[in-house]
Chain A
Amino acid sequence: MNFDFTEEQEMLRDSVARFIQDEYDFDTRRKIAASDAGFDRDKWNTFAQLGWLSIPFAEEYGGFGGSAADVMVVMEQLGKGLVLEPYLATVLLFGNIIQNGGSQAQKDEYLPKIIDGSCLGAFAYLERQSRYEMADVKTTAQSNEDGFTLNGEKVVVFNGANADHFVVSARTGGEQSDQQGISLFLVAADAEGVERANYRTMDGQVVANVLLNNVQVSQADVVGEPGAAFGLIEDIVMKANLGLAAEALGIMEQLNSKTVEYTRTREQFGVAIGSFQALQHRMVDTFMSYEQTKSLVYRAVCALSDEQEDAATAVHALKVMVDKAGKHIFAEAIQLHGGMGITDELDIGHFAKRLMMINTTFGNGDYHQAKFNALRYN
């Protein structure tokens, strides 16, 4: 039994933490969020130079060969800085799909470019009607002599506005909600028939709805097994959920520590409001919510690293906790900051908005509660 970080993980953590402290303060982040692209290419290149973009990839492609714990370490720190650069979309989604399901040629082509920062990726899995059900796919891939023709629309594609390449889920068989019959395709953002409508989300991201109008892809652009890619999607999304939860954990820690600090200095009725027992107890409650979340993050890391059978259960439980603890912590952080908590000027609200977005990404608490119930009680 050991919950310590390795020396390597501590170095990795310190390296990201130092970057956030020195180069990613809240004002810098605000400027990046207000820019057209919604992220900073120079910062992304820094990520590449520091080796963070290589964490989950095998050494043969120039990767770090990292574990779920290594990803957790990075994501937790990125969360603390509310980092906007597309680590989730490019590395944890696009990159991991290529690594786990891609052909040798695809890995050789894309992984080194992800690692050196020159390729930005996105995973286009959602559709207007699909809500949280990733198997609900209407986009079609019609087989022809040159490969496949894609038609349909993908929505709320993270990093969709800036991605050079997409992995797109499309149906080569089966009915609308069948897991069977779903295939994955690599699509260049500048391919003929690809149209993007970009818009901003509350957490400062620029996302896109991606329209696919008779987009021709080749046989070599198929990722994973045709018609049987759903297992790959589930696996990648499970790991991405762990990364998101670690990001949420970093945010929760920031909200709690900033709130405690504020109540130490804010005076009302002649004393610091942190001296009121009623408020102390509430901050103790949010502290406990944070610790409980941390324990489930660690539990999921262990389950995934050991490839335990109940890894899926652990991740569903974690996502339920992130929803519950996240709402609890940011609601209290805003409330205890009073009027200041509802300003755009203070970072508190921005942490809250990112937590809300994490909540809804790959299913909110209710969705994962239902999945958990089905695994545990059915």
Chain B
Amino acid sequence: MDTAFSPQDLAFREEVGAFFDSAYDDELRARLHNPDPAVFPAAIVEWQKRLFEQGWIAPAWPQEYGGTGWDATKCFIFETERATRGIRDVSPFGLKMVGPVIYTFGTQEQKDRFLPSVLNSDEWWCQGYSEPGSGSDLASLKTKAELDGDEYVVNGAKIWTSYAQFADWIFCLVRTSSEGKKQAGISFLLIDMNSPGIKINPIVSIDAHHSLNEVEFNNVRVPVANRIGEENKGWTYAKALLAHERTAIAGVADSKRGLAQIKEFASREVNAGVALISDPLFQKRLADIEIDLMALEFTELRVLASVASGGAPGAESSLLKIKGTEMQQAVQELMMDVAAYYQGVFPGELSDEEVGHDFGPMAFRNYMYGRAATIYGGSNEVQKNIIAKAVLGL
């Protein structure tokens, strides 16, 4: 048992840090954090292209498909160095979700067609899983795909689709059979967002931003060649994807960064001449979170190590998802309390200087949208059901 970094790991950390420091410059950072939809999407693509050119866009992918071949330690170092600097993570839909499904289950033609543009970010993906009537009970989904010659005709609606308004492609779970178990009639389709019959209805979220959408499908024609794997086997592929997604959702490194920011802000906030960071009540709250996070960091390392030695993330990814999202929310809540009155200042209303505070609006946005983390990627309640069944055998 040992988690010490080897000299090679330490050299790697230097290399990664140096790259981030030069490639993620202040000008790019400002554009990435600009909520204006005319600004940040292009900035995301620009940043991802810089990572692509460096060869680091998809650290966890197998080398033959454009991954790095790094071991779990190196992936951990990369992630930690990124989050420590407050660098925005890559958009997950192509790189962390559909990409792995395509290289694992796709045909050679699908790999050749889609993987390059996922890696170089020329095409933007979104996810079509949830439906208005199918949330926690995802397998009850009703969006229907009926075979007509060498095309499927798709009808139905998907919801909570992040950034559908920028997407070129959507990967969808659709119903191709209503016989047998509901999980057994689902197929996995890749659908061009420019297809006739697709309509996007924006959904404004609790933080007053528009990132979510409902996507309607009215007789949308999709070539059978865009189906992943076998018909009616989509649930198997989706489950594999969800395990990856949940492992990524834990966001331990980002929570650590949040905690570091809280410490910095709490040193500046002063109540009756006493810095908040020196207040024993505050220290107790901070320590409660930090201790849980120290544990979670090692839980994540244990999972990563087992994946690196050939295991696939299974029910452990549910544990990481539950605790990770709970910790994110705990960090966001404490940040709100540090911001005091300024937690309520609406982002973009006045400049930070005019308002007199520089992290209140950020705390607000993170906290409010952060409420979604225990809901998306399979609600935490469903994750508990998975653990109860798969781990406890209940």
Residues of A within 8 A of B (CB): 126, 128-129, 131-133, 135-136, 153, 155-156, 177, 197, 199-203, 209, 267-270, 273, 278-279, 327, 331, 334-335, 338-339, 341-345, 349, 352-353, 356-357, 360-361, 364, 366-367, 369-370
Contacts and interface: CB of A to CB of B under 8 A. Distances in A.
16 contacts: A126-B341, A128-B357, A129-B270, A131-B269, A131-B340, A177-B273, A199-B345, A199-B346, A201-B345, A203-B344, A270-B140, A335-B379, A341-B206, A342-B206, A343-B204, A360-B343
Contacts of A131: 269-271, 276, 340-341
Main secondary structure of the interface of A (DSSP, over half): mixed
A349 B204 CA distance: 12
A342 B344 contact: no
Interface string B370-384: 011011100111001
Nearest to B137: A268
Interface in B213-258: none
A353 B205 CA distance: 13
A339 B136 contact: no
Contact of A269 (B140, B206, B208, B212): B140
A266 to B, nearest CB: 8
Closest 7 CB pairs of A and B: A199-B349, A349-B206, A201-B344, A268-B137, A344-B204, A128-B356, A133-B272
Nearest to A336: B381
Contacts of A369: 281
A156 B346 CA distance: 12
Given A135-B272, A342-B205, A209 B355 contact: yes
A279 B384 CA distance: 12
Contacts of B135: 268, 338-339
Interface in B115-130: 130
A345 B204 contact: yes
Interface string B134-161: 1111001000000000000000000110
A356 B136 contact: no
Contacts of B208: 344
B203 interface: yes
A131 B275 CA distance: 11
A356 B343 contact: yes
A339 B376 CA distance: 8
A338 B379 contact: yes
A199 B350 contact: yes
A136 B375 contact: no
B322 to A, nearest CB: 12
A242 B344 CA distance: 21
A343 B160 CA distance: 10
Nearest to B376: A339
A360 to B, nearest CB: 6
Given A129-B270, A199-B355, A338-B135, A370 B281 contact: yes
Given A342-B375, A366-B337, A202 B364 contact: yes
Contacts of B342: 156
A370 B135 CA distance: 42
B268 to A, nearest CB: 10
Contacts of B212: 339, 343
A278 B371 contact: no
Contacts of B285: 366
Contacts of B140: 268-270
Given A338-B379, A342-B375, 16 more contacts: A126-B341, A133-B272, A155-B355, A156-B344, A197-B350, A199-B349, A199-B350, A209-B350, A209-B356, A334-B371, A342-B205, A343-B205, A344-B206, A360-B341, A367-B271, A369-B281
Contacts of A273: 136
Interface string B357-394: 10000001000110110111001110010000000000
A339 B159 contact: yes
B206 A197 contact: no
B333 interface: yes
B292 interface: no
Contact of B375 (A153, A269, A270, A339): A339
B336 interface: yes
B282 interface: yes
B111 to A, nearest CB: 33
Contacts of A202: 343-346, 364, 368
Contact of B340 (A209, A279, A364): A364
A192 B374 CA distance: 52
A209 B354 contact: yes
A342 B282 contact: no
Contacts of A132: 271, 340
A296 to B, nearest CB: 19
B271 A133 contact: yes
Nearest to B284: A366
Contacts of A335: 371, 374-375, 379-380
A364 B368 CA distance: 18
A326 to B, nearest CB: 12
B9 interface: no
Nearest to A350: B206
Nearest to A129: B270
